[in-house]
């Protein structure tokens, strides 16, 4: 059950008294409340904004992405709405512009821009790398197709910042399973390395897929993997990684492992290690 309530409905149903609304809830928007002990997610903020609109607006941008199930969204970003003509109140961003009927889907009781339309909007409105990260995440979660986003872009060739969207789409890969995997892939591609494939399946002798590699070059048997902190701090995860790497090595793979510190502070070394691994593979 959602923690977000309309004050008028809570009073009418007996869910809360006026005193409770004042002392046990906090006001998000006009007539929209949440219990004071609730930490809001992007999904909560989307629903709160939709309730504020009188259940009339269409969720857009990050709010649509949250409703569609995307991960890695900032919980403190303003909610985003479309297809209503109200001034934007604090905490809500209202977008204008045409949205076709086939660019809207229903998520429960809420109208929401489709996966492709949501990616189209995010790709134009966010900084380039942020847009790539968010589009990767949404397409990964929904199994969406970047070609559907390109089709939406083709409908609006003169749209504002359409070139930014097209550039973002040229880098998008739904195989990324985290923002850091996206950032690592961008680092390699922008350094001039061949574009890596993502989520490469590795099979055993019977043809069963035993492992998947974050990204890499299958013809060279060189993979690159981002290892989050849990890989280094969790003994069980660390032990599983050892077994995994032994299996991949037995299959002929060279794996370049990249930590968060290396990606953040020593990107040149990451590029050099990947490039050297490819050079060695060429001589095999």
**What tokens appear for 76 in the block?**
């403190």
Q: What is the pLDDT of residue 279?
A: 97
Query: In this structure, are residues 118 and 66 in contact, taking their beta carbons and an 8 Å threshold?
Result: no
Q: What is the pLDDT of residue 184?
A: 98
Q: What is the pLDDT of residue 232?
A: 58
- pTM here is 0.93
The DSSP element (H or E) to which 268 belongs, if any, is helix 267-283
- pLDDT one-digit tens code per residue, 212-248: 999 999 999 999 999 876 655 666 777 778 888 999 9
Cβ count near 1 (within 10 Å):
3
Please state, in angstroms and rounded to a whole number, the distance separating the CA atoms of residues 176 and 260: 16
Q: What is the pLDDT of residue 159?
A: 95
Q: What DSSP string describes 69-132?
A: T--S--TTSPEEEES---PPPTTEEEE-S---GGGEEEETTEEEE-HHHHHHHHHHHS-HHHHH
Q: What is the pLDDT of residue 233?
A: 66
How distant, in Å, are the alpha carbons of 21, 203, 219, 277 from that of 281?
A: 66, 20, 9, 6
Phi, psi of 89 (to 5 degrees): -80, 170
Compute CA 116 distance to the chain's CA centroid, rounded to the nearest angstrom.
Answer: 13
Domain limits, CATH 3.40.960.10, in the chain: 179-282
How distant, in Å, are the alpha carbons of 114, 131, 182, 187, 225 from that of 268?
A: 38, 23, 17, 9, 16
Q: What is the pLDDT of residue 283?
A: 85
Please state, in angstroms and rounded to a whole number, the distance separating the CA atoms of residues 273 and 257: 9
- pLDDT one-digit tens code per residue, 27-67: 999 999 999 999 999 999 999 999 999 999 999 999 999 99
79-82 and 197-203 beta bridge pairing:
unpaired
179-282 classified as CATH 3.40.960.10: yes
Q: What is the pLDDT of residue 38?
A: 96
Q: What DSSP string describes 137-187?
A: HHHHHHT--HHHHHHHHHH-TT-TTHHHHHHHHHH--TT--SHHHHHHHHH
Q: What is the pLDDT of residue 238?
A: 72
Please state, in angstroms and rounded to a whole number, the distance separating the CA atoms of residues 34 and 50: 14
Q: Mean pLDDT by 10-residue block, N- to C-terminus, for the chain (284 residues)? A: 91 94 96 96 98 98 99 96 93 95 97 99 98 99 98 96 98 97 98 98 87 96 88 68 88 95 96 98 86
């Amino acid at each position: 059950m959602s923690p977000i309530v309309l004050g008028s409905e809570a009073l009418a149903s007996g869910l809360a008294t006026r005193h409770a609304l004042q002392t046990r809830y906090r006001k998000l928007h006009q007539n929209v409340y949440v219990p004071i002990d609730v930490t809001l997610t992007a999904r909560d903020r989307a629903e709160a904004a939709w309730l504020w609109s009188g259940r009339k607006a269409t969720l857009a941008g990050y709010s649509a992405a949250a409703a569609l199930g995307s991960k890695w969204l900032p919980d403190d970003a303003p909610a985003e709405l479309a297809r209503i003509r109200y001034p934007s109140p604090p905490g809500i961003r209202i977008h204008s512009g045409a949205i076709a009927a086939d660019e809207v889907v229903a998520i429960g009781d809420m109208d929401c821009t489709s996966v492709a339309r949501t990616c189209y909007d995010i790709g134009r409105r966010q900084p380039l790398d942020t847009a790539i990260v968010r589009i990767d995440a949404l397409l990964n979660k929904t199994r969406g197709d970047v070609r559907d986003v390109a089709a939406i872009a083709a409908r609006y060739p003169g749209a504002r910042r359409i070139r930014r969207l097209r550039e973002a789409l040229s880098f998008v890969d739904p195989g990324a399973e985290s923002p850091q995997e996206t950032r690592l892939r961008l680092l390699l591609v922008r350094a001039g390395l061949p574009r890596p494939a993502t989520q490469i399946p590795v099979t055993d002798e019977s043809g069963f897929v035993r492992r998947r590699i974050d990204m890499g070059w299958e013809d060279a048997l060189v993979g690159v993997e981002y290892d989050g902190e849990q890989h280094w701090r969790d003994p069980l995860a660390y032990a599983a990684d050892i077994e995994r790497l032994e299996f991949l090595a037995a299959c002929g793979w060279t794996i370049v492992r990249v930590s968060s510190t290396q990606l953040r502070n020593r990107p040149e070394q990451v590029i050099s290690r990947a490039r050297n691994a490819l050079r060695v593979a060429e001589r095999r």
